[in-house]
Amino acid sequence: MRTPIIAGNWKMNKTAVEAVQFVREIRQGLQNIQGVDKVVCPPFIAIPGVYEALQATDIGIGAQNMWYEDKGAYTGEIAPDMLTPFCQYVILGHSERRAYYCETDEGVNKKTKAALAHGLTPIICVGETLEQNEAGETQAFVSGQVKAALDGLTDEQVASCVIAYEPIWAIGTGKSASAAQAGSIIGLSVRGAIAEVYGEAVAQQVRIQYGGSVKEGNIAEYMAHPDIDGALVGGASLKPGFVELVRNAVA
Ligand code: PGA
């Protein structure tokens, strides 16, 4: 019922030239895989070149961040309208942005509203730290992040969001959460939190990804869990093996 979605979060990797070379290398392979939404999220400056290179393909483009105002004195920021000619998606509230750039739940909520108002699909990131996980706080913390990010949205808007559950201790560490662990948190604390506020019917429409050390070799396990609808992939999205990863997601 929910179309799976695999998004590659390139983070601060690849120059504009390298980005175009890379998407030329993977575009045909990705294009051949059906039944899954495929998205690449390059750094801002590489987005127009990647857009050109992906013309006439069904591969989506996402930004990795965005500011919530339309324009003005926000040095260094990018407005929604600057993205919409090129992007369909925007990653919001990634744990690295929350940790290094002081992003708050309130800011993520404002960005989510701005993205939706401009026709961009937000990929909202949530997830607990190792300390919170070990202290048994995961469920309360993650459901709090989900509710805060979606606060004040309509049912239709919520249904159109993508949420990425990424336990911080699993990002870039090679330590992935097991599919059973991730699926249970996604079911209880992400879909469950949405159901509490917006009802089960809305919760059933939201696509929820797992993120954290997803690779070619483990994607199938995550996809086999009924509550996991795809993945937000960091390191493994930077290499040609990303094609195989996406293929394995729907195999
Ligand atoms: P990773 O990153 O796949 O390199 O662990 C995932 C993410 O941060 O989105």
Ligand 1 center to 71 CA (angstroms): 30
What token pair was written down for 198? Answer: 């917006």
The answer, yes or no, to whether residue 61 has pLDDT greater than 90, is yes
Domain ranges in the chain are 5-249
Q: Is 201 exposed, middle or buried, given 0-12, 13-18 or 19+ CB atoms closer than 10 A?
A: exposed
Q: What is the model's pLDDT at position 176?
A: 84
**Nearest atom (ligand 1) to Cα of 171:** 5
The answer, yes or no, to whether residue 40 has pLDDT greater than 90, is yes
User: Which residues contact ligand 1 via a Cβ below 6 A?
Assistant: 9, 166, 171-172, 211-214, 232-236
**Nearest atom (ligand 1) to Cα of 173:** 5
Contacts of 150 (CB under 8 A, 6+ apart): 109, 112, 124, 158, 161, 194, 197, 198
Q: Mean pLDDT across the chain, nearest whole number? A: 97
**Nearest atom (ligand 1) to Cα of 212:** 5
State yes or no: is 77 an active-site residue.
no
C-alpha count within 13 angstroms, C-beta hemisphere, residue 229:
21
The answer, yes or no, to whether residue 172 has pLDDT greater than 90, is no
CATH of domain 5-249: 3.20.20.70
Three-state SS at 98: helix
The DSSP secondary-structure symbol of 147 reads H
Model confidence at 148, pLDDT cuts 50, 70, 90, reads very high
Average pLDDT over residues 63-91: 98
What ranges make up the beta strands (E) of the chain? 5-9, 37-41, 60-63, 89-92, 121-126, 162-165, 207-211, 230-233
By residue count, the chain amounts to: 251
Q: Which of 103, 128, 166, 216 is catalytic?
A: 166
The answer, yes or no, to whether residue 175 has pLDDT greater than 90, is no
The answer to whether the beta carbons of residues 190 and 202 sit under 8 Å apart is no
Ligand 1 center to 94 CA (angstroms): 10
Rounded to 5°, the CA angle 92-10-177 comes to: 75
In 10 A of CB 5, how many CB atoms?
23
Average pLDDT over residues 113-127: 98
Ligand 1 center to 95 CA (angstroms): 10
State yes or no: is 166 an active-site residue.
yes
Average pLDDT over residues 93-117: 98
Average pLDDT over residues 172-179: 88
Q: What is the model's pLDDT at position 196?
A: 98
